[in-house]
DNA sequence: CCTTGACCTTCCAGTGGCTGGAAGCCCCAT
DNA sequence: ATGGGGCTTCCAGCCACTGGAAGGTCAAGG
């Protein structure tokens, strides 16, 4: 199986597969002409990475998880997942804070052709005085 | 006022201020010796950018918003803010989907020294079969 | 006057995770 | 033989910084 087939099967773009090889995540063997060859093992690794990435794991996490595939414990995996979960929760909290502030500002903004704008007023505020008096 | 004072006052790191000048967001004048000088206007711009960035606006959005400071309408600003709000909401939704899946997997993972792990099982799944049968 | 040390300057490189594009093989079908 | 679609490599760029090296400048102290 060549790279474009592997891309179609795994859902990982060919360009990205080459990148993953570059950073040592996958190591597909080569034919005499230099073409990469993807077998069941390589395909499984690519799908695994693809799935992990779609859950937001970093490429380094993927590397670790792939290593844990060959003899890691459920505990090892859980630790990685929990740390990732914490990062996700923190990111969500950060975004929700932004959304809250922005929503309030947008709702107070008339959005007409005047220059008066609560959003701009907020941005012009000295520091982080969100919407207090 | 020199760059480190401006950094302290605005909350934007000196390195970042230089970067902002590099990309043309701010244009502080220079002394004969080459040192940047920050007056009230520059300081206000830096604080404005800092605040906008903290609300998640992109640097390009900041550029636009700064331009709107000199004669833009409330409507112009609101459009930018609403688009940004949409992007934030999308990102939150994406992260919450991840969190939901991961939470479920983590809760089902014993986290002991065995190799059996629902998280790994999920990652090994062919495509995007989250937690269905 | 000279040194010290804290500023300031510029420029280069790296972060993460790709992605686009150019230049150049390779292979098969016509 | 030629055309077109693969494949290969490598370089550059995205976003928004950030670290660090090399070197200029300035005020204070000895």
For residues A108 and A87, give the distance between their C-alpha atoms in angstroms, rounded to a whole number.
Answer: 32
CA B37 to CA B27: how far, in whole Å?
Answer: 10
CATH label, A1-56, candidates 2.40.30.10, 1.10.1200.10, 1.10.533.10, 1.10.1660.10 = 1.10.1660.10
CA-based nearest residue to A77, from A64, A86, A89: A64
Strand, coil or helix: what is A126?
Answer: coil
pLDDT tens for each residue of B67-103: 999 989 999 999 999 999 999 999 999 999 999 999 9
Answer whether A45's CB lies under 8 Å from B92's CB.
Answer: no
User: What is the rounded distance in angstroms from the CA atom of residue A45 to the CA atom of residue B124?
Assistant: 8
What's the CA gap between A121 and A80, in Å, rounded?
Answer: 43
Using the Cβ of B37 and the Cβ atoms of chain A, whether some distance falls under 8 Å is answered with: no
Label residue A29 by pLDDT band (50, 70, 90): very high
Q: How far apart are CA A28 and CA A21, in angstroms?
A: 8
Tokens (6 digits) for A87: 């990062």
Question: Does A70 touch chain B if contact means CB atoms closer than 8 Å?
Answer: no
Fold that domain B1-72 belongs to in CATH = Multidrug-efflux Transporter Regulator; Chain: A; Domain 2 (1.10.1660)
User: How far is residue A7 CA from its own chain's centroid?
Assistant: 19
Distance, Å, B127 CA → D3 C1': 37
State the pLDDT at residue A128: 57
> What mean pLDDT is predicted for residues A35-46?
97
Q: Mean per-residue pLDDT for A113-131?
A: 83
Confidence at residue B22, expressed as pLDDT on a 0 to 100 scale: 96
| Mean pLDDT, rounded, of chain B | 94
Q: Which member of B55, B113, B123 has the closest CB to residue A98?
A: B55
How many A-B residue pairs are in contact by the CB < 8 A criterion?
A: 157
> Both tokens of residue A75?
């505990």
Taking the C-alpha atoms of residue B102 and residue B122, their distance in angstroms, rounded to an integer, is 10
pLDDT score of A133 more than 90: no
Euclidean distance between CA atoms A36 and A3, whole angstroms = 6
pLDDT computed for residue B57 by the predictor: 98
Q: What is the mean pLDDT of each run of 10 residues along chain B (133 residues)?
A: 96 97 97 96 97 97 96 96 97 97 96 95 76 46
Q: What's the average model confidence in pLDDT over A88-105? A: 97
Q: Where are chain A's structural domains?
A: 1-56
Contact list, A120 vs chain B (CB under 8 Å): 65, 68-69, 74, 77
Start-to-end CA span in chain A (Å): 65
Average pLDDT of span A91-111: 97
């Amino acid at each position: 199986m060549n790279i474009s087939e592997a891309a179609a099967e795994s859902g990982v773009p060919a360009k990205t597969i080459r990148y993953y090889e570059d950073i040592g995540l996958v190591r597909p063997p080569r034919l005499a002409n230099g073409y990469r060859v993807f077998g069941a093992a390589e395909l499984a690794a690519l799908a695994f990475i693809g799935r992990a990435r779609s859950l937001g794991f970093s490429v380094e996490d993927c590397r670790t998880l792939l290593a844990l595939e060959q003899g890691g414990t459920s505990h090892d995996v859980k630790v990685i997942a929990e740390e990732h979960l914490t990062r996700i929760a923190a990111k969500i909290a950060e975004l929700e804070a932004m959304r809250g502030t922005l929503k309030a500002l947008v709702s107070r903004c008339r959005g007409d052709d005047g220059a008066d704008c609560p959003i701009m007023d907020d941005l012009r505020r000295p520091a982080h005085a969100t919407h207090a008096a």
